[in-house]
Chains A and B, each alone.
Chain A
Amino acid sequence: MNIFWQYALIFAVFIALSLLNMGIITKVKAFFGGRKGAPVLQKLYDIIKLWQKDITLSTTTSWIFFAGPFLSVLVPLIAFAMVPFGSVHALISFEGDFILFLYLFALLRFFTVASALDTGSSFEGMGGAREITFSVLIEPILFVCFIILAKISNSLALENLFGIHSFTSWTHDSTVLTIVVFSLFVVMLAENSRVPFDDPNTHLELTMVHEVMVLDHSGPLLGLITLGSALKLTLFALLISHLLLPLHTDIFWLDLVLSAFVSMGVVACVGICESLIARLRIVAIKNILLGTFVIALFGIIMITRQSL
């Protein structure tokens, strides 16, 4: 297959998978609640609906208000180009690209918060403050995870960090890899404003973290944000599924389907998590994140001791 078509296909699959994954969460939660639940492709219908609407703008807003939604789609797409999918290599790859990966999301966060502050609402300022506080705690966890993976794979490129961890690395460093998977899962929940860190379904502005920052976005802008958050969640699920899948068949289609299925499984776990535990108090979130950081740090100690 032509390399161009191959990547075009991969990106299309990624976007479709993202929308599907949101539906999977809804269905899993509906199952636990004894309900039928919204259609699997509801997010897609929502985006189409939002795209047909007008944008309502507050008089205080400037161009920054638009930057947040656009970046929320752009950043996950660029970040996706830096990770492998199935047996297909990353489109962009260089030594140390994981730092770019991390700070792409920091850039997105900056513009999301800035566009929230741009509206001049007291709610959105509150959400912005919460988001920044938690991100300060999330960033070191991700760094530590990437450092551990760098140590295992002897490389600084995401391509290899999340490349095939063969059976040997799971047999050798299974504990450390489990720690990494666990930490990444916690980060996935926190970064994507899922329960127990945030409640994507709540209507209570005072309790929101991420949702409150996008309250003033409407129409196509909200559609972009909805799409962006779906992409971001699936990107994290893919990272985890790369670690969980210890081998590749090197058959293009098979690997693609396998990766997609494992990521669906990860996302289903998110749904189960959301169904079984209640939301944390906002003050308790930092304890959980700090705890996760300590666990991840423990992983570093283990991996460095092994090599001594």
Chain B
Amino acid sequence: MEDFKPFFTNPFASPIDAIPLLSEDLFWDKVILAVNEEQFRVLSLFSASLKQTWQIWIVLGNDATGLIKVGRFRVVDNAYTSRTELLSCIHLFEREIYEQSGILPRNHPWLKPVRSPHQSACSQMDFYSIEGEDIHEVAVGPVHAGIIEPGHFRFQCYGEKVGHLEISLGYQHRGVEKALLGMPKANHLKQVEALCGDSTTAHSTCYAQNMEALTGIKISEKEALIRAILLELERIANHVGDIGALSGDVAFLTTASYCGKLRGNILNLTAQITGNRFGRGGICIGGTRYDIDYALAQTLKTQLKALQPKIMGAIELFFRSPSVLDRLEKTGIIPQEWVMAYGFTGLVAKASNCLRDVRTSYPYGSYIDRDLKTSLEKSGDVFARAKVRKEEILICFELVQTLLKELEMIAHVQIQKQQNTALPAEYFSFSMSEGWRGGVAHTIITDDKGDIQRYKVVDPSFFNWTALSLAMRDGQISDFPLCNKSFNLSYCGFDL
């Protein structure tokens, strides 16, 4: 019997023909079986137009075994039956497919545009509302009071209590996926780096890995190490910044101001390597653009050693204050069942005792055969999400020291930039990396000329915005900013 094609590595590339084309019903039966029975989760689900026909592709991953399965089916009559009611985790993917290609998921319960309301033919445009005399609606955004990205939040409230929150995004939709089509160009990497500015390294690693898988480039051990160092520095900087921001939201002054400063210090380390505080330009196809020599590795090590106690001190103060803990605990709870049902990923999943980490499940580059420590929390509340960040900062400090030590051994090796951007025709490739929010997944499909026919990006924010809206149910509206900050999701990573 026809089945999905399994893959065992991350990243991987395969000719399109090797991936069996199933019938619609068989496809969905396999998906539902894999997700409900075999502990797979949906990593990516998208439509692609191949040889003038629409196909729907799915990438499933098993976090326990590291197995990835790919399947596809041909869409007939520009429609198929929606499976959202059987499989909650694909609700947003089905809406996205409809918006991007016009393929109708029949009987979708909430077929609303994902990103561009004014350009779409979607029927459902209204916000979900609760009826009742005492219910009041609060609309926040898209223009906010702080310097943050635009997004609209619609609360249905009963007094201070939130009944429902609907989040409407897409204000930053700029068509990145479309901009990456065609012949690979030098500016594509720049586009990918700006997919989500605070996860520059995660996204550019993902892009580079895909290109390398397609062209058969193997990067050296040293380049893999530098990539990992950049990625972990990105993680530390963002986590430190987030704990500072959480502290600011509960008006706990000391940690807020110290973390703001210390985040800058970590960003400066990245700048010492790449010349940019956010690691832009650090990673290129076939390796890394900048080398770390022995002297720089030494400097980084000493500076990290000096920063660690300061950062941990500021964070410890935050976690030791009873008034702070009172705000964090039991606010915005995400139970483990929701993580399973809706496919939440990364940090949100880890805070609900569910290990979803690309580095351990689908190891790549320098993470292969590395005994990586991970942090898990059980309570799923704001506290758990803050605690996971704190633990990860500690783990990352250790990890970066180890990586730098390994790098010192091979510091004399010169990095070589291999450039070969001619892609094979009719190929499919998939790659993942673990950004600080969670797993980032990129997919490339090439056409018969070797041009990129479809580029699909899945940022962890795509899954996790739903988590925020569910976390607010029956919560206090005044806790929303705190709750929001504990997820700290990306708007531009979602809007693409």
Please report A residues at the B interface, Cβ cutoff 8 Å: 29, 32-35, 122-123, 125-126, 129-130, 195-196, 199, 201-207, 274-284
Contacts and interface: CB of A to CB of B under 8 A. Distances in A.
B328 to A, nearest CB: 9
A203 B251 contact: no
Interface in B260-311: 261
B257 A33 contact: yes
Contacts of A274: 251, 253
B201 to A, nearest CB: 29
B146 A204 contact: yes
B257 A281 contact: no
Contacts of B240: none
A282 B250 contact: no
Contacts of A275: 253-254
A201 B250 CA distance: 11
Given A207-B480, A279-B327, 10 more contacts: A33-B253, A34-B258, A203-B146, A205-B145, A206-B481, A207-B249, A278-B323, A278-B326, A281-B479, A283-B160
Contacts of B138: 122-123, 126, 206
Given A32-B253, A33-B253, A278-B321, A207 B327 contact: no
B476 A203 contact: no
A207 B481 contact: yes
B256 interface: yes
A282 B136 contact: no
Most A-side CB within 10 Å, residue of B250, B253, B478: B253
Nearest to A275: B253
A29 B18 CA distance: 64
A129 B160 CA distance: 10
Contacts of A282: 160, 476, 478
A206 B484 CA distance: 12
Contact of B136 (A122, A199, A205): A122
B137 interface: yes
A111 B140 CA distance: 26
B252 interface: yes
A204 B251 contact: no
Given A122-B136, A205-B145, A278 B478 contact: no
A206 B253 contact: no
B33 interface: no
A206 B140 contact: yes
A34 B260 CA distance: 11
Nearest to A33: B257
Interface of B: 136-140, 145-146, 159-160, 247, 249-254, 256-258, 261, 321, 323-324, 326-327, 331, 476-482
Contacts of B481: 204, 206-207
19 contacts: A29-B253, A34-B261, A126-B138, A195-B251, A201-B251, A204-B249, A206-B478, A206-B481, A277-B321, A278-B247, A278-B250, A278-B324, A279-B251, A279-B323, A280-B323, A280-B327, A281-B478, A282-B476, A283-B476
Most A-side CB within 10 Å, residue of B139, B331, B479: B479
A33 B476 contact: no
A122 to B, nearest CB: 5
A217 to B, nearest CB: 15
A33 B251 contact: no
Contacts of A276: 321
Contact of B257 (A34, A122, A126): A34
B140 A205 contact: yes
Nearest to B256: A33
B259 to A, nearest CB: 11
A206 B253 CA distance: 19
B327 A33 contact: no
Contacts of A122: 136-139
Contacts of A34: 254, 257-258, 261
Contacts of A205: 140, 145
B479 to A, nearest CB: 7
Nearest to A283: B476
B383 to A, nearest CB: 13
B432 to A, nearest CB: 34
B145 A277 contact: no
Contact of A281 (B139, B253, B258, B327): B327
Most A-side CB within 10 Å, residue of B159, B252, B476, B482: B252
A38 to B, nearest CB: 13
B257 A202 contact: no
Contact of A206 (B258, B324, B477): B477
Most A-side CB within 10 Å, residue of B138, B146, B251, B324: B251
A35 B253 CA distance: 11
Contacts of B476: 281-283
A295 B421 CA distance: 75
Nearest to A123: B138
A33 B321 CA distance: 15
Most B-side CB within 10 Å, residue of A29, A122, A123: A122
A259 B476 CA distance: 42
Nearest to A133: B160
A111 to B, nearest CB: 23
A123 B481 CA distance: 14
A207 B253 contact: no
Given A205-B145, A207-B478, A33 B258 contact: yes
Contacts of B478: 206-207, 281-282
A278 B383 CA distance: 14
Given A126-B477, A204-B249, A278-B250, A35 B146 contact: no
Contact of B251 (A129, A278, A283, A284): A278
A206 B254 CA distance: 23
Given A35-B257, A277-B323, A206 B251 contact: no
Nearest to A202: B251
Contacts of A280: 323, 326-327
Contacts of B247: 278
Nearest to B252: A278
A274 to B, nearest CB: 7
A206 B153 CA distance: 11
A144 B256 CA distance: 38
Contacts of A129: 159
